[in-house]
Structure 1
């Protein structure tokens, strides 16, 4: 009877170890992804900083709006 109990206990221990090995390791926490850096420009009329992909090109630089582009070009004698 003593040996039967020993065999059952050893069987339980080995089955628990087998389950632990079969389980995939827990994923490591990852650092949050860094946002992509944007190329920035400054409106030639008002000095507002804005991404270049949103800026309007014009004679004399880039602008935050068509009104600022027109105003700048009128002030500086340049017409498009």
Structure 2
């Protein structure tokens, strides 16, 4: 009886593994598991502290330069 149970477990594992492989082939395999590529952004250096931040996160100052935070922008203007 224990051999029958062992065979059933082995067949169940093989069936699940085979179904998983077929699903991977249908969805493109490992390419489907890769994280999406993030577009590269230009990095801006804050003139006050020299920290680099993405241009989309940088704050423009009145002098045309970009700053990492509002505190550094106000410190440079004042």
Partner of 2:73: 69
Matched, 1:47 2:40: no
Q: Is the 8 A contact 1:55 1:62 kept in 2?
A: yes
Q: Who wins on radius of gyration, i.e. which is larger?
A: 1
TM-score normalised by the chain length of structure 2: 0.52
Aligned-residue RMSD, C-alpha: 2.2
Are the equivalent residues in 2 in contact too, given 1:39–1:51 (CA < 8 A)?
A: yes
- CA shift at 1:55, angstroms? 0.8
Q: Specify the SS of the correspondent of 1:50.
A: strand
Which blocks of at least 5 consecutive residues in structure 1 are unaligned? 1-25, 75-80
- How many pairs were matched up? 50
CA distance in 1, matches of 2:76, 2:42: 22
| Structure 2 unaligned blocks of 5 or more | 1-24
| TM-score, normalising length: structure 1 | 0.51
Structure 1's consecutive aligned runs of 4 or more residues displaced over 3 angstroms after TM superposition are none
